[in-house]
Amino acid sequence: MGVLESISVKQENFPFRKKYEEFYRLYEILSPAYGEGRYGMMTEQQKASKDWHQLSTQIMERAFAPLEKPAYEASYALGKTKILMNAEIREVLERSRIKASTVYDKNSQKLKRSFVLTKA
């Protein structure tokens, strides 16, 4: 297979490829471990000790829990170092991330208001 044919196949099947750590950094708000500590606040030692593959898999399972497994299973693949996704899966993850951040923003605003009210 030539280089151009290889690129074409990659683009048709799984055009979005992210290393597990990068994937987690982008979609950490969807992780069940999100409340334990933010990626940006971790030390290099903490980052080195994390199992990014497992954390990324948990994000995928949580994001697609309402769907039937065969409906999305063929739309992404888990490699040794990267997670591979097609455009539809990436779009669902982006929507889920936006929705989750909106919920967290609303909750943090409520907490801030209640703190101000109790302080006064």
Domains of the chain: 3-119 (1.20.58.60)
For 102-113, how does the pLDDT look when each residue is reduced to its tens digit (9 = 90+)? 988 888 888 888
For 12-61, how does the pLDDT look when each residue is reduced to its tens digit (9 = 90+)? 678 888 999 999 999 999 888 787 778 878 888 888 888 899 989 888 88
Whole-model pTM: value is: 0.75
Q: What is the pLDDT of residue 77?
A: 83
Q: H/E/C letters for each residue in 60-82? A: HHHHCCCCCHHHHHCCEEECCCE
In this predicted structure, the answer to whether residue 1 has a pLDDT above a threshold of 60 is no
Q: What is the pLDDT of residue 69?
A: 66
